[in-house]
Amino acid sequence: MRPDAHPTDAHSTEGHLVTVHPAITDPHVRAHLARLAAQAGTIPSGATDAAGDDAARIAELRANPSWVRLPDDEILESIDVDADGLALRLYRPRGGHRGTLVFAHGGGWVAGDLDNNDALCRALAAATGTQVLSVDYRLAPEHPFPAGLDDLERALRFAASGAGGLVDPGLLGVAGHSAGGNLAAALAVRSREGRAPGIRIQVLLCPVLDAPDLTRPSYRAHTEDLPLTAKGMQWYWGLYVHDAAESAPRPVSAAAVSASASAQPERAETAPAARPVVPVEAAPLRAPDLTGSAPAVIVAAEVDPLADEAEEYAARLAASGVPAEFVRRAGVPHLFLVFPSTPARDEVLAQIAPAVRAAFA
């Protein structure tokens, strides 16, 4: 597919018409998805939207051949670190750095390792001039909530101890992509409550911040032909938080409604009385009080079921007096930050870099 292909272009694979979602208008991202569709016969929602045995679907996700460790170069070096059995990888800009972001990779809590967000960690470290300490946390369903979060906290505590002289313990932040953004936000809540070491910033990249809520406009609009769909998000959530796979909308505070009303006019302001209990640490958007949280940088993809909850979280933080920079990138889907280097990824990282550098100034 040409980089300038029209949004309505489609591909035929083995007799099936494969369509790139028309809302994905970024030409470079469309070209990448079209190539994947031509190879696989489907837009890569992965195993998440397929029927069948969970174990087989999880195995397919974990066997992703695109997860590789890139070679170090003149810009950045990577260092393998062990924190009492917890595998970490430190990305260090060679030209100087200030501050360290403890990073959680994506993968729906059920897949991923130190390699699947390797390119993103390198790009984040290079763009911001910070160290990035990536964490190989335990995965669901073998290790459901809160195992991954507890591992991320272990890594933050290791960083707060100085990480054997690799890290300045006074200049720490948390970061994460997708499900890892959920873990980073939840750890920021722990930090705010004094239950984890102090941090200066939280960098949440296309994060999961609430249980799946099919009343959100972004959930209703994004159900097929996407790297992440509403159905896929429900599947991931059910494996991570076993007792809360289904969730109705939560009650919304008056402050949150006021802060986010212009962005989400369709949302209901109250929820049904009966609904499953969702742990706040699995759904940070449900935290009753965010006052005193670390400043936040939140990135959302416009063509993503998670876009609205990210914007609502930014609004709640701002309403609580927390500096919150929110970037909603138009024309791109979930996972755009981990596609092969595109202008969209590089421009977004350049856009958020000043806030990260300021947090460590």
How high is the mean pLDDT of the chain?
87
Residue-level pLDDT at 187: 98
Type of residue at 310:
A
Active-site annotation holder among 11, 97, 222, 334: 334
Cα distance between residue 232 and residue 19, in whole Å: 18
User: Which residues fall within 8 angstroms of residue 63, CB to CB, at 6 or more apart?
Assistant: none
Q: Is the residue at 4 inside a domain?
A: yes
Q: Is 334 a catalytic residue?
A: yes
Residue 36 has pLDDT above 80, yes or no: yes
Based on C-alpha coordinates, what's the Rg of the chain? Answer: 19
Residue 205 has pLDDT above 90, yes or no: yes
Do 138 and 27 share a structural domain? Answer: no
pTM of the complete model? 0.88
Q: Is the residue at 166 inside a domain?
A: yes
Do 182 and 37 share a structural domain? Answer: no
Share of the chain above pLDDT 70, in %: 84
Do 183 and 300 share a structural domain? Answer: yes
Active-site annotation holder among 178, 191, 218, 260: 178
Give 329's strand partners: 301
Do 110 and 9 share a structural domain? Answer: no
User: Which residues fall within 8 angstroms of residue 229, CB to CB, at 6 or more apart?
Assistant: 45, 48, 49, 222, 223, 305
Residue-level pLDDT at 41: 65
Q: Is the residue at 205 inside a domain?
A: yes
In this prediction, residue 25 has a pLDDT band, given cuts at 50, 70 and 90, of very high
Residue-level pLDDT at 259: 38
Residue-level pLDDT at 5: 37
Do 11 and 157 share a structural domain? Answer: no
Do 247 and 119 share a structural domain? Answer: yes
Residue 16 has pLDDT above 90, yes or no: no
* Phi, psi for 329 (deg, rounded to 5): -80, 125
Residue-level pLDDT at 341: 77
Residue-level pLDDT at 43: 66
Q: Is the residue at 254 inside a domain?
A: yes
In this prediction, residue 35 has a pLDDT band, given cuts at 50, 70 and 90, of confident
Q: What's the total number of domains in the chain?
A: 2
In this prediction, residue 48 has a pLDDT band, given cuts at 50, 70 and 90, of confident
Active-site annotation holder among 26, 151, 304, 308: 304
Q: Is the residue at 71 inside a domain?
A: no
Is pLDDT larger for residue 8 or for residue 321?
A: 321
Do 322 and 173 share a structural domain? Answer: yes
Do 288 and 243 share a structural domain? Answer: yes
Q: Is the residue at 271 inside a domain?
A: no
Residue 258 has pLDDT above 90, yes or no: no
Q: Give the number of other CB atoms < 10 A from CB of residue 204.
A: 30
Question: Domain containing 103 — which CATH number?
Answer: 3.40.50.1820
Region 168-189 average pLDDT: 98
Residue-level pLDDT at 160: 98
Share of the chain above pLDDT 90, in %: 75
In this prediction, residue 66 has a pLDDT band, given cuts at 50, 70 and 90, of confident
Q: Which domain holds residue 11?
A: 1-44
Region 188-214 average pLDDT: 98
Q: Is the residue at 9 inside a domain?
A: yes
Q: Is the residue at 101 inside a domain?
A: yes
Burial (CB count <10 Å: 0-12, 13-18, 19+), residue 152:
buried
Residue-level pLDDT at 13: 40
Do 323 and 179 share a structural domain? Answer: yes
Do 13 and 112 share a structural domain? Answer: no
- Quick check: 100 and 172 in contact, CB under 8 A? yes
Do 206 and 137 share a structural domain? Answer: yes
Span of 217-221, 337-341, 356-360 with lowest mean pLDDT: 337-341
Do 30 and 102 share a structural domain? Answer: no
